[in-house]
Amino acid sequence: MQVERARFDGVLVFTPQPLHDDRGLFVRTYDADVAGEHGLRPETFLQDSLSRTHRGVVRGLHLRTGRGEAKLVRCSHGALFDVVVDLRPGSSTFGQWEGFELTGESQRSVYIPAGCAHGFQSLTEPADTSYRIDRRHDPAESLTFAHDDPELGVQWPLPVVGLSAADRAAPPLSEVRHLLGAAAR
């Protein structure tokens, strides 16, 4: 498994080596030893989740307040455009975003540290997204801000054809910026 550091400090991209044959493919999508060698604490991952998303739909941008939330995100089927927004106070890349194409074929994963917001758009019909999360879900600590916030300027590759009610009603980052300090702890 190859591990690369992304542009933002603490964001890692894990690229496994799928084995293809006439039956299909086999791939190790997570290796605790490899994760540990790159500074992650594998024992902190407490929950695995999966979402299935229709083509063109955007989920996000989401952030966990309080102590924040780290996650390992992978497209297990289809393809998606995954976005990380650095919202860690004091970070040299604060307010910047970086996008990654994740596919079921590559099984590449992105590690997103606490204090970074996350969102994605499905590029296929459908796309399955697998999450490995280091905290139990607490809706009281969920923070959502607008996927189309002009301050961030995220360039979604497809027209946005759907959002959840919460994502549709999300305010711009400028209205929730005062809540970000707690997410970096």
Q: Among this protein's residues, is 131 annotated catalytic?
A: yes
Three-point CA angle 44, 127, 155, nearest 5°: 90
Catalytic residue among 62, 111, 118, 147: 62
Catalytic residue among 30, 118, 131, 147: 131
Q: What is the domain count for the chain? A: 1
> Is 90 exceeded by the pLDDT of residue 180?
no
Q: Among this protein's residues, is 111 annotated catalytic?
A: no
Q: Are 110 and 84 contacting, i.e. CB atoms less than 8 angstroms apart?
A: yes
Confidence of residue 182 (pLDDT cuts 50, 70, 90): very low
Q: Output the domain CATH number for residue 108.
A: 2.60.120.10
Domain boundaries, position 88: 2-184
d(CA 133, CA 174): 27
pLDDT digits (tens, 9 = 90+) for 14-55: 999 999 899 998 999 999 999 999 999 999 999 999 999 999
